[in-house]
Amino acid sequence: MGVAADVRDRGGDDGGRFFVVEEAPAALNLSPETLGGTSVRLSLIVDDPDAVAERAIAAGATEVLPIADQPYGLRQGRVADPYGHHWLIGRPLADAARWSGTVRAR
């Protein structure tokens, strides 16, 4: 049996939970390496993307793009987990009134 990463939203009762598991061809779980690329990018919107990215890298992720202010209104970067899944980690910039079509209230 492989290793599974259990990721939970700590934001309250409406938070989500999902798993990322290692490759298991018998269960049709193929890794991005086997596929020759990732078919999904996971995007985490967090209060402190710099700290979250640092923790991910310390836990074994590889930095793909460093956390930086992006022209589309996010402070965001990307890491790849040990299974090859890409994670976008970011937050709306303070001066960005709109992001992804929604208004963020402060």
Query: Average pLDDT, stretch 2-13?
Result: 52
Position 52 scores a pLDDT of: 92
User: Which comes out higher in pLDDT, residue 35 or 19?
Assistant: 35
d(CA 2, CA 26): 12
Query: Average pLDDT, stretch 15-26?
Result: 75
User: Which comes out higher in pLDDT, residue 31 or 16?
Assistant: 31
Q: Phi first, then psi: give them for residue 16, nearest 5 degrees.
A: -100, 175
Domain ranges of the chain: 4-94
d(CA 73, CA 70): 6
Position 94 scores a pLDDT of: 80
Instruction: Give yes or no for a contact between 74 and 92, defined as CB atoms under 8 angstroms apart.
Output: yes
Query: Average pLDDT, stretch 87-100?
Result: 76
Classify each residue of 23-42 as buried b or exposed e, where b means 16 or more C-beta atoms within 10 Å of its C-beta.
Answer: eeeeeeeebbeeeeeeeeee
d(CA 27, CA 14): 29
> pLDDT by residue (tens digit) across 24-50?
899 888 888 888 888 788 888 999 999
Could you tell me the pTM of the whole model?
A: 0.71
**pLDDT over 60 (residue 15):** no
d(CA 101, CA 66): 25
Q: How confident is the model at residue 8 (pLDDT cuts 50, 70, 90)?
A: low
Hey, what CATH class is 4-94 in?
alpha beta
d(CA 78, CA 87): 5
